[in-house]
Structure 1
Amino acid sequence: MNRLDNKIAIITGGANGQGAVEAELFIEAGAKVVITDINSTAGEETAARLGDKCTFVQHDVSSEEDWARVVQTTLDLHGQIDVLVNNAGIFKVLTLEETDLKVWEQTVAINQTGVFLGMRAVAPAMKQKKSGSIVNISSIAGLTSAKAHAYCATKWAVRGMSKAAAVEFGPSNIRVNSVHPGFIDTPMLDAHGVPREQLVAKVPLGRTAEVIEVARVVLFLASEDSSYCTGHEFVVDGAIKA
């Protein structure tokens, strides 16, 4: 039996990068997956590549109406929702003084409000089933400081929101955890504006992480292998925060 047999998962930001790898891993583990993204072209291409167990829905995570549509589409297709991975996010390297109100509001809307809306949107279906796992992707910037003020603030918020939701949803057997990646080998890593060798020098393991290494932690949290894990941070950073 596969780890996610008969499970239905929603993964935001699933058109490419980490979200697409998570979707592929979930499908290999037996799940059917609805991936969402603002980028419809990439989303459709990824869904086609992953086959008939993957459906794409265009989705602005900061839109309450879009969340209602994603949840209803998933229920119409599959009749249940077992897993939500709040993976969508943006990253801009700007200090507090460099961050104007427009950038702040955009970052909060996607990185923080999107997580809030997602958890709230799937809660009724999970409560009805009396089970579920929500995995919120934060960052090591949600555990420490970073020269990316809005990003850092929202990733700390995701950490706190996950803990609060875990306590609230616990009686309904819905688990909520946050994942905190360090330096991951994705295009977003280059947005730091710091040469990769300088970033790697900060990592005791001496390398960046592969996307699959984060995805495997997300899979663990989505599956019953983590059935007593809720309200906690799972750090994937090669010991930067050790």
Structure 2
Amino acid sequence: MKRFKKNLIVFVLISVFLVSGLFFLGKFKTEASDPSLFATEFLQSFAKNDLSRASTYVRNDSHLKNIGEMKTARAFIANHTGEEFLDKFKISEVAPVENVIDVKYFDKSGQEISYMEAFQNAQKEAEGTQQYKDIVRQYGDAMKKFVDIRLKANQPIDSETERLANLGYAKLAELNTMFVVKKEEKKITAYRILVEFSVREDKKKLIYPYTAYPVILDVDQGENGTLRISEIETPGEGE
């Protein structure tokens, strides 16, 4: 009897572990997976009208977290495809969105320097180029007047002189940037996923001349790789 109880306890513990493990794997699958698979899982819940589950794929601060807002988005898409066509979709494109998360600046010898030092070095180098001389020749008078009259004397200046001065400064800044030695660290922080829904025959007039209804899912990727939907972008009628 004691042995039976012991085996029963072991069996229960194993069962609990397996159930917990399956729950954890299911949760993990939702939180960190391939963007295409992630979008597919969301859309399957979306199509089945299981909006409570669909909302678990959504970023907490998104308006779609509200079931009412999710329902509105679903109804809008269904109106253009046909309710029974919501599960007839394909992922056409997954476009990663890269952002610069860090920039380091260097001198010509490869020594890391500050942002200010890098741009001072770049300006000195730019001043020796023909491009610099051309810009100064074309916009120099306007730039000098802008400094002397508008900035130093705080007097009004005619709009054409101000326009030419601003254009000259912009061209110099662009030229200086070409000589800045820097290294950018980029990271994928989001995905834009194009989803194409098939359309019921009597709904095709709503999306004419297109043959499929396009929807874009904006998906953010957190520091730990977690994926979350931030927005569902749908074209309006006649677009």
What TM-score do you get using the length of structure 1 for normalisation? Answer: 0.24
Of the two, which has the highest radius of gyration?
2
TM-score, normalized by length of structure 2? 0.25
Greater percentage in strand: 2
